[in-house]
Amino acid sequence: MFVAKSIRWVATAAVALTATSAFAFEPTGKVECIAPSDPGGGWDFTCRSVGNVLEALDLVPASVQTINMAGAGGGVAFAHTVSKRAGDDQLLVAASTATTTRLAQQQFPGMDADMVNWIGAVGADYGVIAVSQASPYHTLTELMDAMKEDPRAVKFAGGSANGGWDHLKVLIAAKAAGVENLPRIPYLSYNNGGEAMTQVIGGHVDAFTGDVTETQGFLNSGDLRVLAVLSEERLAGDFSDIPTAREQGIDAVGPNWRGFYIPADVDDDARQYWVDALDTLYASDEWKQVMQNNGLMPFHPGSQEFESFVKQQISDIQTLSQDIGLIR
C-alpha cells in the first residue's frame, strides 16, 4: 500500500510540477508547517488548510504536520526558523501581512526579511473602509476631503492595536488621498472587527477599518455602507458592487495576504519545488473551494514578484509607522 501510494505521488508530482523541480528535489516523509500562533487563528488555518490540499493533491509523500508556535506576534517562529532550521527543506512557515507589519516595525529584534525565503501567497482578505447607513459620507473621496480639512474629523474603529494592520489601512488610504498630519487621525482599538463595527453602527464612532469578509453580515443586513475596498480591482461575487479606492482617485491597496516562507540556505531546487507546489495548489479546484468557503480573495503573485511585494510592503509600512511615531 505504501509503495503504491509512493508511486502515485511521484507520478502526480512529476505531472503537476515542472520537470526540473519534480526530479531534482522531492520532499521525503513528513513535512512540517509552523503556525506562529495558537490553534484557531489565521496562521493555523493557513497551515492546516494548505496542508490538507497538498496531501489531497499528492504533492507531499506523507502528511503535513501543523506545529503551533505562538509568541511575539510571530517572532518566536521567525527566530526559530532563522536560528535553528536553516537549510531545512521539509519546513513551511505560515505568514501574512501581520508578519510584514511586525518586521517593518522592528518587532523581531536583529532579524529582517532577507533571513528567510518568501515562496508565495495563496489568497488575501482585502481591507475596507466603511460607515453606517446613517453616515453623511457616501464615498471615500467625501470622507477623505473632510479629513483634509481636519485630520480629526473622522474617528475610526478597528480590531487591531494602535499601529496594527487595521490602523495602517486607514493611514495608507489617507496618505494616498493627500491627508496631512497622519498622527492626528483618531483610531480606537477594539478586541475584534465585530465589536468595532458595532460601535460604528451604533453611532459612537464614525468609520470602520477592517477586512472585507468581516463586513459581510452587516453589509447584508443593510447596517453598514462600505465606501471602498483596498484592492487592485473590484472583487467578485457578493462584494462586486463595492468600488475600489483606485476608482475614486485614491491609489490605496491593502491586502491581508496569506502565504509562506521557508528557511534560508535551502537549495534552489527545493525552493523551486515549493514555489511550484503552491502554484499547483492555488490553481486546483480543491483550493478554490477552500477559498470560497473561507472568504479568501484571489492573490497569488509569481515567486519573484511576491518577494518584491513583501519587501515593498515592509518598506511602505515602515514609512507609515515612522510617520505616526511608532518607530524612528
Kindly give the interhelix angle for 285-294 and 42-56, rounded to the nearest 10 degrees: 160
Residue 185 and residue 154 in contact, taking contact as beta carbons nearer than 8 Å: yes
Residue 93 contacts residue 34 (beta carbons within 8 Å): yes
Return the H-helix or E-strand segment holding 258.
strand 255-263
Same domain, 236 and 143: yes
> Do 120 and 261 share a structural domain?
yes
- β-strands 255-263, 116-132: how paired? antiparallel
Q: Assess whether pLDDT exceeds 90 at residue 237.
A: no
pLDDT tens digit sequence for 280-292: 999 999 999 999 9
Q: How far is it between the farthest Cα atoms of the chain?
A: 71
328 assigned to some structural domain: no
According to the model, what pLDDT value does residue 17 have? Answer: 52
% of the chain residues with pLDDT over 90: 80
Closest CA relative to residue 132, chosen from 214, 197, 216 = 197
Q: Which residue has the cell 509568541?
A: 71
Predicted pLDDT at 191: 86
215 contacts 226 by C-beta, under 8 angstroms:
yes
Number of compact structural domains in the chain = 2
Handedness of CA 186, 131, 171, 292 (dihedral sign): positive
Query: Any idea what the Cα angle at residue 294 is, between residues 289 and 297, rounded to 5°?
Result: 80
Domain of residue 91, residue span: 2-124+257-322
- Mark whether 8 and 112 lie in a shared domain: yes
CA angle 297, 302, 306 (to 5 degrees): 80
The Cα 138–Cα 242 span in angstroms is: 12
Residues 225 and 310 grouped into a single domain: no
Over the stretch 27-79, which tens digit does the pLDDT of each residue have?
Answer: 998 999 999 998 988 899 999 999 999 999 999 999 999 999 999 989 999 99
275 forms bridges with which residues in the sheet? none
Which of these three, 204, 238, 254, is where a domain ends?
254
